Structure 1
Amino acid sequence: MMGMLFNEKECKELGYVLRRELDEMLMDMSDNRLDLDIRNAIALRYKTVFRMYARFAAPKELSKYAIRGKITQ
């Protein structure tokens, strides 16, 4: 396990970067032009980034990025 110390400004910036990444991945996962295997790989990465964002975000903000179910064709 690795620990890092951030000041408030850095936490906000990291939260912003993680939100943008989550938005991009949500858009990619909903794009039916992408192969199902690719979308599943994005979904696995999404889970990791979502857990990282959960450490910074308020529960109300976090609920915007919660996804349910599997990626379907």
Structure 2
Amino acid sequence: MLGMLFNEKECKELDYVLRKELDEMLFDLSDNRLDQEIKYAIASRYKTVFRMYARFAPPKELSKYARGGKLKKSKP
């Protein structure tokens, strides 16, 4: 486990960066032109970033980024 100390300005910046990254990944996941394998990789990364964001986001804000659906991994 790794610990980090941030001041208030850095926390706000990290919050902003993580929210924008989550927004971009949600947009990509809704793009029908992307291959299912690409969407699976994005969904996997989304989980990691979401868990990072969940450590300090208020529940009301966190609920905006909660995903319920699962992607099926396509068979080659």
Same fold (TM over 0.5): yes
Q: Is the 8 A contact 1:11 1:56 kept in 2?
A: no
Name the residue aligned to 1:37: 37
Instruction: Describe the superposition over 1:3-22 as per-residue Cα deviations: whole angstroms up to 9, x where unpaired.
Output: 00001111010000000000
What is the distance in 1 between the residues matched to 2:56 and 2:11?
7
Identity within the alignment, % = 79
Could you tell me how far 1:69 is from its partner in structure 2?
Answer: 1.6
In structure 2, stretches of 5+ residues that fail to align are: none
TM-score, normalised to structure 2's length?
Answer: 0.91
Runs of 4+ deviating beyond 4 Å: none
Q: More helix by proportion, 1 or 2?
A: 1
- Count of aligned residue pairs for this structure pair: 72
Name the residue aligned to 1:52: 52
What is the distance in 2 between the residues matched to 1:26 and 1:69?
12
Instruction: Describe the superposition over 1:16-70 as per-residue Cα deviations: whole angstroms up to 9, x where unpaired.
Output: 0000000000000010100000001000000000000011210000000000021
TM-score, normalised to structure 1's length?
Answer: 0.94
**3-state secondary structure, aligned to 2:63:** helix
What is the distance in 2 between the residues matched to 1:65 and 1:53?
9
What is the distance in 1 between the residues matched to 2:70 and 2:30?
11
Give the CA RMSD over aligned residues: 0.9
